Amino acid sequence: MTLYTLLSCLIEGFGNKETKSSQAVLGTNLYNAFFNLLKRDLRLAFRHKSEILNPLFFFVIVVTLFPLGISPEKQVLAEIGPGIIWVAALLASMLSLDSLFRSDFEDGTLELMLLSEYPLPILILAKIVAHWLITGFPIIIFSPLLGTVMFLSNEAIETLMITLLLGTPILSLIGAIGMALVVALKRGGMLLSLLVLPLYIPVLIFSSNAVGSSMAGLSISGQLYFLAAFLIFCLTLAPIATSAALRVSLE
Amino acid sequence: MMKAIMKFIYQFASPKHFYRLSGKIIPWFAWLAAILLIAGSIDGLFIAPVDYQQGDSYRIIFIHVPAAWMSMFIYMVMATSGAIALIWKIKLADVIASSSAPIGAAFTFLALVTGSIWGKPMWGAWWVWDARLTSELILLFLYLGYMALESAIEDPRAAARACAILAIVGVINIPIIHYSVEWWNTLHQGATVTKLDKPSIHISMLIPLLLMALGFKLYYAAVVLMRARNKVLVTEQNNRWVKEIIG
């Protein structure tokens, strides 16, 4: 039984349609596998809305804690705001990584993916894209609100959104490697942060610096170029490392 | 030809051969390391001239710099032997990688501590968020993550493979992290060891530094081989040659 039959069972099952014949299954290509897996993950997330909402709430709450803990003054918050919003985004993305592989690992879907005829990195990429759409994208939508609360200027909020757009996919991609390494462990949560957070540092440095620079009216193209380059780099290599790690974890 | 080479390597890397050979090599490494470290310390602490700017407190570099070099070198060793273990399935490479991790972490810690002691009279503070100290700290986190992952996975084979992947991912990221931290902030004086650009280190200071660096390397080699020998004995404890040795 290929992955595709399994997925089409799942997807068509939700739509109450008949399952496709095996003839059609054999005729499908990688492109379909990618998008079907993506659709399936998104559909699952929309069935469990907490998977989408919880990282977002976490993100908002963490940012709210800082004015309470430090000072509500405009000057202070505008100074530390970019860093805080980015650290909160980092933590929200990391804590949501569990949903990337955990349930699929527990019900055996992941094992079927490993056995399927399609190249694993492409399937992994579909899951990572879905994870980003579920956890990273809502953060981007909500970031202007938090930027306003932290007294960032309009240009800075614009930059914040661009850096989040370039940076959060990197977090999902790198996080997937770490998650794949700890997925088979019972208490992987703490370990995951130890593995993943050091690798997030370049993203944090360049993103929050870009937002701070645009507050000061400086050019930010250098930082954005770096983020874009790092995104491409991770996009090409992270799925491969993730599949290697998954093969070790599921041995 | 390739086949013959691989056969030689596999034979050489067999636990039994490794155990015998390393037993012969370790004393050489250990004695050479001891001699070099003593010579380097005497040269560095008493003979090398006083720095015109930093006075005598610069002398800590004879520990700090070799330790920092070793911290990076050992991570490279771990990633390389991890890759060897993944590609050619040589078990010994896994043993070397996992024996190296605590030593590397110790050198990283030593580099951090000596850096901060040096920083106290130089910068007037125990810790400065300087680029190289910060990347050294991140390197320590990478080592700790590696060791934590290794101890979290029960099956040693799976742990070794997972750690190999982590080390390779880490080694690809280290330059990126290093340069982003460097770009972020730098108060540290630039590297002065390369003789190509000025200002560079004077030869009377370079000699003890190199003696110490070589001593540190040989010390690492001796210790990693000792640790690897112990691990080999544990993993091969059911084989006859081990029982013969232990008696």
Distance CA B231, CA B237 (A): 10
Distance CA A179, CA A127 (A): 12
A199–B contact, CB cutoff 8 A? yes
Smallest CA–CA distance from B168 into chain A, residue: A241
Residue appearing with tokens 């019900």: A107
**CB B170 to CB A199 under 8 A?**
yes
| pLDDT of amino acid A27 | 43
Count: domains in chain B = 1
| pLDDT of amino acid A21 | 47
CA quadruple B234, B235, B236, B238: dihedral positive or negative?
A: positive
Give the pLDDT confidence of B15-56 residue by residue, as tens digits.
888 888 888 889 999 999 999 999 988 888 888 777 767 777
Smallest CA–CA distance from B185 into chain A, residue: A205
A182–B contact, CB cutoff 8 A? yes
Chain A residues with CB inside 8 Å of B168's CB?
Answer: 241
Smallest CA–CA distance from A242 into chain B, residue: B165
| pLDDT of amino acid A28 | 62
Distance CA B95, CA A207 (A): 39
Quick check: is A16 in a domain?
Answer: no
- What count of other Cβ atoms lies within 10 Å of the Cβ of residue B59? 20
A248–B contact, CB cutoff 8 A? yes
**CB A205 to CB B172 under 8 A?**
no
Distance CA B170, CA B34 (A): 32
| pLDDT of amino acid B198 | 53
Torsion of CA A21, A24, A29, A31, to 10 degrees: -70
Quick check: is A136 in a domain?
Answer: yes
How much is the pTM?
Answer: 0.85
Number of A–B residue contacts, CB under 8 Å: 68
**CB A248 to CB B161 under 8 A?**
yes
Query: How close does chain B come to A190, measured CA to CA in Å?
Result: 10
Exposed / middle / buried, residue B126 (Cβ in 10 Å: 0-12, 13-18, 19+): exposed
Give the pLDDT confidence of A162-180 residue by residue, as tens digits.
999 999 999 999 999 999 9
Chain A residues with CB inside 8 Å of B181's CB?
Answer: 201, 205
Quick check: is A112 in a domain?
Answer: yes
Quick check: is A127 in a domain?
Answer: yes
Quick check: B158 and A182 in contact, CB under 8 A? no
Smallest CA–CA distance from B175 into chain A, residue: A202
A200–B contact, CB cutoff 8 A? no
- Closest partner CB to A195 (pick from B145, B158, B181): B145
Quick check: B49 and B204 in contact, CB under 8 A? yes
**CB A191 to CB B152 under 8 A?**
yes
**CB A199 to CB B181 under 8 A?**
no
Q: How far is CA A67 from CA A62, A82, A147, A155, in A?
A: 10, 13, 13, 22
Chain A residues with CB inside 8 Å of B142's CB?
Answer: 198
| Enclosing domain of residue A187 | 37-249
Quick check: is A215 in a domain?
Answer: yes
| pLDDT of amino acid A13 | 42
Chain B residues with CB inside 8 Å of A195's CB?
Answer: 145, 148-149, 166
Complete DSSP assignment for A58-122: HHHHHHHHHHHHS---HHHHHHHHHHHHHHHHHHHHHHTTHHHHHHHHHTTHHHHHHHSSS-HHH
A205–B contact, CB cutoff 8 A? yes
Quick check: is A109 in a domain?
Answer: yes
A228–B contact, CB cutoff 8 A? no
Interface of B with A (CB under 8 A): 86, 138, 141-142, 144-145, 148-149, 152-153, 158, 161-162, 165-166, 168-170, 172-173, 176-177, 180-181, 183-184
In a mutational test of the A interface, the residue from B94, B108, B173, B186 whose CB has the highest number of chain A CBs within 10 Å is: B173
Smallest CA–CA distance from A184 into chain B, residue: B153
| Enclosing domain of residue B158 | 38-48+59-246
3-state secondary structure of B55: strand
Quick check: is A4 in a domain?
Answer: no
Report yes or no for ipTM above 0.90.
no
Tokens of A230: 């790092």
Quick check: is B44 in a domain?
Answer: yes
Quick check: is A204 in a domain?
Answer: yes
Burial A106-116 (b: 16+ CB within 10 A, else e): eeebbebbbeb
Quick check: A130 and A96 in contact, CB under 8 A? no
| pLDDT of amino acid B191 | 53
Quick check: is B158 in a domain?
Answer: yes
| pLDDT of amino acid A175 | 94
| pLDDT of amino acid B187 | 39
| pLDDT of amino acid A22 | 46
- Closest partner CB to A241 (pick from B141, B169, B177): B169
Count: domains in chain A = 1
Return the DSSP state at B45. I
Chain B residues with CB inside 8 Å of A197's CB?
Answer: 141
Q: Which residues of chain A have a pLDDT value below 50?
A: 1, 9-27
Mean pLDDT by 10 residues, chain B (247 residues): 77 81 89 92 82 75 91 94 89 91 95 88 80 88 93 88 93 87 62 53 83 93 92 84 77
Residue appearing with tokens 């399952």: A19
**CB B177 to CB A191 under 8 A?**
no
Give the closest residue to A250 by CA, choosing from B163, B235, B162, B150.
Answer: B162
Q: Where are the alpha helices (DSSP H) in B89-130?
A: 91-123
